[in-house]
A and B are shown apart, each in its own frame.
Chain A
Amino acid sequence: MKFKSMICAALLLAASQAAAEERTITIATEGAYAPWNFSGPNGKLDGFEIDLANALCERMKVKCEIIAQNWDGIIPSLTAKKYDAIMAGMSITPKRQEVIGFSIPYAAGINGFAAMEDSTLAEMPGTGERYSLDSQADAAKKRISDIATFLAGTSVGVQGSTTASTFLETYFKGSVDIKEYKSTEEHNLDLTSGRLDAVLGNATVLAAAIEKPEMKGAKLVGPLFSGGEFGVVAVGLRKEDIALKTEFDSAIKSAIGDGTVKTLSLKWFKVDVSPRG
């Protein structure tokens, strides 16, 4: 008994010392969503969110450990306390808010379609246009119904459990055959092989993917959409970790304020995805 309590005391002491030295926060990312987050050739995680996470942790004066986690288990593992936060291009949605909490947004989610240049889908209506599902809701819905008619009978790939899959389910169910994949890399493979006629996903991710030689012949088609189902991208946190949310909120506010988010966004996406306003 005495021995046991001695061990307990020693462990407590060690734990409190570690806390005093430096707090460690574990952040999960997907590692398969370039250029937001991806594994480099040496297996090291890299991308916009890795840079941003390090910048935020510096401001929060904590040590960050960033780990890769499959997208489909990323929320359940957070609630199961496998890590403390998610930074994986995750948008705030009402459904996710039932389960986890979010920081203030650090990026906007802009989504679009990609198809092969030599297919009939390359002529999708609205190419080059951009709609906000919030401020231009009526115009956007009209465009969406044009596209639904245009795409009738085709197969469209999308990553499962994403805002893009919700968007497809909401507006295109019935008119197109929606195929869900575990990662964007997998649906891109099926687009080039011809199993899919088009894919829908984050425009920055698709734009980066079609630059690669494996995706030669693919291009972004149709309009870009933001707002509405696509929401804004934020750090995912457990609802009860209110202190951590406050810390992330002020770190994000300062990183947006001093232009860090914009700089990183231009570095990785060549466009500014900072949330407006």
Chain B
Amino acid sequence: MPFDLTFLWQTFVSLLSGIPLALELAALSVATGSLLAFGLALMRVSRRWWLDLPARFYIFAFRGTPLLVQIYIIYYGLSQFPALRHSFLWPVFREAYWCALAALALNTAAYSAEIMRGGLLSVPAGQIEAARACGMARILLFRRIIVPQATRQMLPGYSNEVILMVKSTSLASTITIMEITGIAAKLISESYRPVEVFISAGAIYLSLNFIVARLFALLEWSLWPERRKNRLQSNIVEKKGELHA
């Protein structure tokens, strides 16, 4: 089959209509997932076994199973129980949209919790001791000393997770949701031309994630003044090196 540029362009334009839904799923699942993850991370570093253990188990379960399986269990699995179908929750679980959102949020919470835990643990013990010695109350210490530094530390890892979530929204197409991949599947079924359609879909995900990556880079830049200074210095050093060469 010849490679058809007009078809490629038409496909690209039709796929654009799936972007709002994909972004909405990604944004809402990352937002709710990060709140849940924050709670889980605090449970993990609490040093209380009855908080730590449930969080560990949650993370184990959601990191250890494929997201696709989680989506199927929530969408097709739960609906098999008449008890749920007759409960007040059914209007929510009846909709594929909410099932996909729930699966995405629960999944990202497990990964993000570990990223946040890593961030929290990265704050040097010396600083915490110093803050305590200055008489800082626990909440103030957490807010002023731990959270700002933990946030900076976890940003590179967390940006990975957000990019993964943008791509994971494509799995929502398996439960009748017409986001970018859902529309792509329909276009393929009408045209039988998977190459052009998948190239267009790939280009759209690539552009979305380029924006996400830049936003995180910007955030990192704004939260890390000394790194900006360092970069400037290292640039100067490099320039000098060039001159000498």
Residues of A within 8 A of B (CB): 72-73, 75-76, 79, 95-96, 98-100, 160-161, 165, 179-182, 186, 189-190, 193-195
Which chain A residue has the least Cβ–Cβ distance from B86? A194
Which chain B residue has the least Cβ–Cβ distance from A74? B192
State whether B194 touches A73 (Cβ < 8 A): yes
State whether B194 touches A76 (Cβ < 8 A): yes
What's the Cα separation between A180 and B185 when bound, in Å? 10
State whether A160 touches B76 (Cβ < 8 A): no
Contact partner of A96 (CB less than 8 A), chosen from B1, B85, B192, B194, is: B192
Minimum CB–CB distance for A4 against chain B, Å = 33
What A residues does B194 contact at CB under 8 A? 73, 76
State whether B185 touches A193 (Cβ < 8 A): no
What A residues does B186 contact at CB under 8 A? 160, 180
Q: Which of A73, A181, A190 has the most CB of B within 10 A?
A: A190
Given A99-B192, A160-B186, 5 more pairs with CB closer than 8 A = A161-B188, A190-B76, A193-B76, A193-B85, A195-B94
State whether B76 touches A189 (Cβ < 8 A): yes
State whether A194 touches B94 (Cβ < 8 A): yes
What B residues does A194 contact at CB under 8 A? 79, 85, 90, 94
What A residues does B85 contact at CB under 8 A? 193-194
State whether B79 touches A193 (Cβ < 8 A): yes
* B166-203 interface (Cβ within 8 A of A): 174, 176, 185-186, 188-190, 192, 194
What A residues does B176 contact at CB under 8 A? 179-181
Minimum CB–CB distance for A202 against chain B, Å = 17
Task: Provide the B126-170 mask, 1 if CB < 8 A to any CB of A, else 0.
Answer: 000000000000000000000000000000000000000000000
What B residues does A190 contact at CB under 8 A? 76, 79
Assess whether B230 is interfacial by the CB under 8 Å rule.
Answer: no
Minimum CB–CB distance for A201 against chain B, Å = 15
Assess whether B207 is interfacial by the CB under 8 Å rule.
Answer: no
Q: Which of A100, A189, A193 has the most CB of B within 10 A?
A: A193
Residues of B within 8 A of A (CB): 1, 76, 79-80, 85, 90, 94, 96, 174, 176, 185-186, 188-190, 192, 194
State whether B94 touches A161 (Cβ < 8 A): no
What B residues does A165 contact at CB under 8 A? 189
State whether A76 touches B192 (Cβ < 8 A): yes
Minimum CB–CB distance for A176 against chain B, Å = 14
Which chain B residue has the least Cβ–Cβ distance from A186? B76
| CB-defined A-B contacts under 8 Å, sample of 20 | A73-B194, A76-B188, A76-B192, A79-B192, A99-B1, A160-B186, A160-B189, A161-B189, A180-B176, A180-B186, A182-B174, A186-B76, A189-B76, A189-B79, A193-B79, A193-B94, A194-B79, A194-B85, A195-B94, A195-B96
Q: Which of B76, B85, B174, B192 has the most CB of A within 10 A?
A: B192
Which chain B residue has the least Cβ–Cβ distance from A179? B176
Minimum CB–CB distance for A237 against chain B, Å = 14
Q: Which of A76, A98, A99, A165 has the most CB of B within 10 A?
A: A76
What B residues does A99 contact at CB under 8 A? 1, 192
Which chain A residue has the least Cβ–Cβ distance from B81? A193
What's the Cα separation between A98 and B186 when bound, in Å? 17
What B residues does A186 contact at CB under 8 A? 76
Minimum CB–CB distance for A51 against chain B, Å = 28
What B residues does A193 contact at CB under 8 A? 76, 79-80, 85, 94
Minimum CB–CB distance for B185 against chain A, Å = 6
What's the Cα separation between A204 and B79 when bound, in Å? 26
What A residues does B1 contact at CB under 8 A? 79, 99
Given A76-B194, A181-B176, A182-B174, are A195 and B79 also a contact pair (CB < 8 Å)?
Answer: yes
Minimum CB–CB distance for B89 against chain A, Å = 13
Which chain B residue has the least Cβ–Cβ distance from A193? B79
Minimum CB–CB distance for B59 against chain A, Å = 30
Minimum CB–CB distance for A234 against chain B, Å = 16
Minimum CB–CB distance for A220 against chain B, Å = 22
Q: Which of B76, B90, B189 has the most CB of A within 10 A?
A: B189
